[in-house]
Amino acid sequence: MSEIVSRLTWMVLVVVSGLLAECAWADAYKLTNGETLNGEVLPTSANDQGVQVKTGEGQYQRVPWANFSQEDLKGFVKNQRMEPFVEPFIEPDPQAKIKRTEVHIQEPPRLERPARQSLFGAIFSSSVGVCLVLVLYGANLYAAYEVAIFRARKPGLVCGLAAIPGLGLAATIAFLSMPTDVKPSERSAEPAVPEPTPKVPAEAAEDLNPMHGQGAKHPDGLKLAATEAPKSTMPETVTYKRGQFTFNRRFFETKFPGFFGVIRREADRDLVLVFKSSRGEHIAQRISRIAANDLHVQVQKGQASEEVMIPFQEIQEISLKHKDA
């Protein structure tokens, strides 16, 4: 009986020691839900979803990385196998976060402002200002020269006064405001002396008689027998030939716009159009209709008028003339 009790005691001691050894060998992990997980983390099973934890003999449990506490995750990051999977879930310290998001403001380079000075000092302190002053000075002298010529003044006097600093522009304006210096000519100052009348010999007096020549004008405005024929008041005839001009609708609308109206204007009332074509010659008083390839003209035949169609291709020549020409 005592032997059986000793064997049972020995077995209980073995089981208890095994449990104690297992508890000493397993780790405790604090989860975010407040629970504690005892077991061994298997680094080789780590992936994006989490890691497997051995909770007992033949018992495994996959735990997501988000369920582990920050302390456990910081311990896992020391393992080279689990580091790339654990690092995104570790929250940085506030100080490290501040340093990472800190914005360094750099002042841009700025030009130095020049020292305050007077207007003339600022103008003559730069080459651009000096060039501008010289250009204005030369322009004032040129304006003074032009004013001197325009007002008939001495250019030396006007330009000399315009060259004085502080007086230049005022002198130019003053001479421009003055009236033009017009001097009376020497010829007009002298009294007019009548020229002596040349003596004509008696033999040549008869030849100098203005009444002898044919077509000579009488001193009183009377004309003698031979007079010039009055010039004709009819307008000249204008001719348009094929080859020199293209006969189409635009040609007639631009060259003869007055022939399209029923009532003719006073200026071209007595003008007619003479068409020479393969069908004959037509004297048109008016263009009644016009199309893309032909036109209709109104011609006079005796006491009546007639409308004639003329294709553009058959027109050889067009003349614009007076009806009595």
End-to-end CA distance of the chain: 171
How many CB atoms are located within 10 Å of the residue 112 CB? 5
Higher pLDDT, 83 or 16: 83
**251, pLDDT greater than 90:** yes
Q: Which residue is it, tokens 């522009």?
A: 169
Q: Which amino acid is at 121?
A: G
- 156 domain-assigned: yes
Distance CA 313, CA 268 (A): 27
Contact 237, 319 (CB under 8 A): yes
- 224 domain-assigned: no
CA 308 from centre of chain:
55
pLDDT for position 139? 92
Express each pLDDT in 20-67 by its tens digit.
444 434 578 888 887 888 888 888 888 888 888 888 787 888 888 888
**281, pLDDT greater than 60:** yes
pLDDT for position 25? 45
Q: Looking at the structure, do residues 94 and 131 belong to the same domain, yes or no?
A: no
**Domain of 164?**
120-177
- 283 domain-assigned: yes
Region 3-13: what's the mean pLDDT? 66
- 243 domain-assigned: yes
Region 245-259: what's the mean pLDDT? 90
Higher pLDDT, 292 or 34: 292
- 194 domain-assigned: no
- 232 domain-assigned: no
Structural domain count of the chain: 3
**198, pLDDT greater than 70:** no
pTM attached to this predicted model: 0.31
Region 237-264: what's the mean pLDDT? 88
Of the three residues 177, 207, 226, the one that is the final residue of a domain is: 177
- 223 domain-assigned: no
User: Which of 8-17, 121-130, 189-198, 281-290 is least confident?
Assistant: 189-198
pLDDT band at residue 189 using 50, 70 and 90 as cut-offs? very low
Q: Which residue is it, tokens 């199309």?
A: 291
Of the three residues 144, 161, 177, the one that is the final residue of a domain is: 177
Q: Which residue is it, tokens 């189409």?
A: 248
Q: Looking at the structure, do residues 88 and 127 belong to the same domain, yes or no?
A: no
- 16 domain-assigned: yes
DSSP-assigned letters across all residues of 87-102: GGGPPPPHHHHHHHH-
Q: Looking at the structure, do residues 87 and 152 belong to the same domain, yes or no?
A: no
**240, pLDDT greater than 90:** yes
